[in-house]
């Protein structure tokens, strides 16, 4: 589950960084109309789009580990079934 922790930390860091950039630019350009909810939603959407490309390798690595774990569990289950028969 190390890959999950790394991916989650990177995704959270990307979200926070994107929020800081969006909120900072917004506050510099038009501080009187700053809307926290909109800034969070915008940061979530923008960081999601960035994560699609930047975190692709980490996501694939995590998916491979999960698939390998599922394959091992399925093989053990089949082995137990074969022993029962």
Confidence (pLDDT) at 84 = 77
Q: pLDDT of 4-24, one tens digit each?
A: 888 889 999 999 999 999 999
Contact 59, 7 (CB under 8 A): yes
**Mean pLDDT to the nearest integer, 28-53:** 94
pLDDT of res. 9:
93
3-state secondary structure the chain: CHHHHHHHHHHHHHHHHHHHHHHHHHHHHCHHHCCHHHHHHHHHHHHHHHHHHHCHHHHHHHHHHHHHHHHHHHHHHHHHHHHHC
Q: Indicate the pLDDT class of residue 85, thresholds 50, 70 and 90.
A: low
Contact 18, 46 (CB under 8 A): yes
Residue 58, pLDDT > 90, answer no
């Amino acid at each position: 589950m190390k890959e999950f922790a790394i991916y989650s930390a990177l995704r959270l860091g990307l979200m926070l960084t994107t929020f800081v950039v969006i909120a900072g630019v917004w506050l510099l350009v038009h501080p009187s109309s700053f809307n926290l909810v909109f800034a969070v939603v915008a940061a979530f959407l923008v960081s999601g789009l960035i994560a699609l490309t930047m975190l692709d390798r980490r996501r694939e690595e995590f998916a491979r580990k999960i698939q390998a774990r599922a394959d091992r569990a399925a093989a053990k289950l089949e082995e137990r079934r074969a022993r029962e028969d």
